[in-house]
A and B are shown apart, each in its own frame.
Chain A
Amino acid sequence: MKPILLHPDDNVLVLAEPIHAGQTIEIDGQSLVAPGDVAVGHKIARRALAIGEKILKYGAPIGSMTAEAAVGAHVHMHNMKSDYIASHTRLATGEGQ
């Protein structure tokens, strides 16, 4: 399974199909074991990401990390946030993630 790189500067990849924990995935030519389940359309780390690091997708900043992520890890609301307006979910409306 090879996730999509949208722009050469990006530090996240997008899944064209879901991945399951333990499955082999390929990132920049290197094979590794997927650390968890991630759904289609979601992002995973292209390389290890530090707290406060800007996330680049389409070559543009889309927010920053609030927790570390290992290569291949799911990058989403549990470890990154908007640099503009807080996002909300059905369970936590307006709380900011």
Chain B
Amino acid sequence: MSIQGYLRADGRKGIRNVVAVAYLVECAHHVARTIVTRSDDPDVHLIGFPGCYPNAYALKVMQAIGTHPNIGGVLLISLGCESFNREALRAAIAASGRPVETLVIQESGGTAETIRKGAEAVARLKGVADQTPRVAMDVSELVIGTICGGSDGTSGITANPAVGRAFDRLGAAGAACVFEETGELVGCEKIMADRAITPELGEELEASVRKAEAYYTVMGYGSFAPGNAEGGLTTQEEKSMGAYSKSGSAPIVGILKPGDLPPTGGLYLLDVVPDGEVRFGFPNISDNAEIVELIACGAHLTLFTTGRGSVVGSAVSPVIKVCANPETYRKLSGDMDVDAGRIMEGRGTLDEVGDEIFDLVLSVAGGRRTVSEALGHQEFILTYKAFDPIGPACLPLRRAS
């Protein structure tokens, strides 16, 4: 299977050719959304940040997504008086060689006129993006994320370890594989640290989980939703053990924070819990906040496992949904790409489903639309956070090279 990637001016290769329309404050959301809706194009996506106060993390994530390899051009929609540093965002996108335009509603004649100009801008950006050269792309050039949502007692037996099998194969082929949500690794920190390629990285992995536990304790809730309990999961650490199996069995080569790009292939943990005192509420208010952070780390696509039955997709990067629970699959088969619950019923093995996921990653990278893409799911959510840069022990391979 050969993947024909989109070669960007900065040398990165994408699997989609998306023009993003980005609102830079909630006040510009309606205008941006209307431009996207009127384009009636499956490759024109809405992204944005709702806050009016400045936030370094939000700028970093928006810069990372605006320069993502799946992005062929960006239209920025600003109200005009918000704090978001639109000049810095525009400069980062322009420096990557991608076309970028900005419309400021207060200077563009208001809602109707900005929508009209925005539609013209999208047409121009599409015209440039359509000229992007196609080149062969190897598995080793892929960045793949994984997340679980709506987990239940089947997740850790079927879909999660099947994704782990696929991760092992993808990583062995040289792809960068990223798993995340340190709040869902509480209880697994010791066994995870044993997989680190250096003792110092192992200490960083344990510290990231301790940070998550402390953060969630202050918030008063673990990363544990009522549906998890209804589905048979009793405790955070039980959910964690199931979630952890998505990471497969390869050595862990590094820790990333949102917006950091993996410098090599191999398996990475994305630390999504903010640093410092608890300031902006829950670390990830819903699953798509985590998917956005995976995309900010360069994820070309995301493997989403679900037991209770999530239906989401994402803007910018396709989501492959792997259903863990056979009863859920029968109810929601139209929202699922892979039926991993069949393992529960003896109609398949972990290795077979792992191979199916691996093959599907390659065909989606080659252009096949996922179920959520075909249904028009393009969720995107970005909220306030604060991070310190990763420490020197977090990327041993980069240090060595």
A interface residues with partner B (beta carbon < 8 Å): 4, 6, 14-17, 39-43, 57-58, 60-63, 75-77, 80-90, 93-94
Number of B residues, CB within 8 Å of A: 37
Instruction: Name A63's contact: one of B157, B228, B237, B344 (CB within 8 Å).
Output: B237
Q: Quick one: given A41-B152, A41-B307, are A61 and B187 in contact (CB under 8 Å)?
A: yes
B224 lies within 8 A of chain A by Cβ: yes
Residues in B with CB closer than 8 Å to A40 are: 153-154, 232, 325-327, 344
B188 lies within 8 A of chain A by Cβ: yes
Question: Are A85 and B224 in contact, with the CB atoms below 8 A?
Answer: yes
B57 lies within 8 A of chain A by Cβ: no
Question: Are B154 and A41 in contact, with the CB atoms below 8 A?
Answer: yes
Q: Quick one: given A85-B216, A89-B226, are A62 and B231 in contact (CB under 8 Å)?
A: no
- Complex Cα–Cα for A60 and B156 (A): 13
Residues in B with CB closer than 8 Å to A62 are: 187, 234-235, 237-238, 241
Question: Are B235 and A87 in contact, with the CB atoms below 8 A?
Answer: yes
Question: Are B237 and A88 in contact, with the CB atoms below 8 A?
Answer: no
A42 to chain B, nearest CB (A): 4
B220 lies within 8 A of chain A by Cβ: yes
B360 lies within 8 A of chain A by Cβ: no
Question: Are A85 and B217 in contact, with the CB atoms below 8 A?
Answer: yes
Give 10 closest A-B pairs by Cβ, nearest first.
A41-B153, A42-B232, A82-B235, A85-B222, A41-B232, A62-B238, A90-B226, A63-B235, A41-B154, A16-B344
Question: Are A60 and B234 in contact, with the CB atoms below 8 A?
Answer: no
- Complex Cα–Cα for A81 and B233 (A): 11
Given contacts A15-B232, A85-B222, 15 further A-B contacts (CB under 8 A): A16-B344, A40-B325, A41-B153, A41-B231, A41-B307, A60-B191, A63-B235, A76-B234, A77-B234, A81-B235, A85-B216, A87-B234, A87-B235, A88-B222, A89-B229
